[in-house]
Every structure is written in structure tokens, then in C-alpha cells.
Amino acid sequence: MTKMKLGVEEYIDSAHYLPGHESCGIVHGHTYKVEVVLEGEKKPSGMVIDFYDVKQTVRSTLKEYDHCMLNDILEYPSSENLCEHIYNRLSQQLDFPLSVKIWEGHGKWCQLSEID
């Protein structure tokens, strides 16, 4: 059977600083767009998974990162480390191959994926 991809996106607002970094070493904030894509086979119900269930899982996970200081969660909260942290949390909750893409504002992103 053919695999299908489905995705959701959410937004979080967070502050952080990158210790030792010349321009990002002071506290500043971003509105991050978080894209989560799952891959799976369509079930007899006609869905891979209900969008509602995916949104609830993603929102619940992202709540930890929204309106907070990311340095309280991650020692070095780069986009790469944030993406990896969110990916690891979601992969424990969603039983699908997945991809997580974090946009740090416009034009800058990081992606961790186990799907093509």
C-alpha cells in the first residue's frame, strides 16, 4: 500500500540566548513555526490518523516551550537543539515515522526527519 504524508503546523513564542555567541548571546525572542509531518498507510477508516489527535499531541508537547525561556530547558537552545528536543518528545508519543521542522522567524529553519 502507498504511504501518505500528513502534517500540521503550530506556533510558539519563546525567548533564549546562545551563551558565547557574538550576536545571539543576549536575551531575545522568536515566533517559531513548528511543522510536524507523519507518514503512514491509510486505514480502513479512510485516515492515516485523525488530525485532531495529531494537533492535540503536538499542542500538548509544545506547551512546554511556549512563552518561556528556552535556556531553562536546553543548555544551548540553538534551533538545531530545539528541533531535536521536540522531535524526540514527539517520536515517543506518535507511532509513525515523522519529520519536525522548526522555523526561527522567516527564512531560517532546521529539520530532523526519518522520512523522505
Mean pLDDT of 40-60: 96
Model pLDDT, residue 6: 97
CA distance 92 to 76: 22
> What is the tens place of the pLDDT at every residue in 61-97?
999 999 999 999 999 999 999 999 999 999 999 999 9
Residue 11 has pLDDT above 90, yes or no: yes
Position 5 confidence tier, pLDDT thresholds 50, 70, 90: very high
Q: Report whether 62 contacts 10 (CB < 8 A).
A: yes
Q: Catalytic annotation on 104? A: yes
CATH T-level fold of 3-113: Tetrahydropterin Synthase; Chain A (3.30.479)
Binding residues for Zn(2+): 16, 28, 30
Q: Report whether 109 contacts 79 (CB < 8 A).
A: yes
Binding residues: 16, 28, 30
Position 2 confidence tier, pLDDT thresholds 50, 70, 90: confident
Which residue in 24, 35, 68, 110 is the catalytic one? 24
Q: Report whether 11 contacts 33 (CB < 8 A).
A: yes
Q: Catalytic annotation on 21? A: no
Which residue in 39, 83, 85, 104 is the catalytic one? 104
% of the chain at pLDDT higher than 70 = 99
> What is the tens place of the pLDDT at every residue in 34-49?
999 999 999 999 999 9
Q: Catalytic annotation on 106? A: no
pTM for the whole structure: 0.94
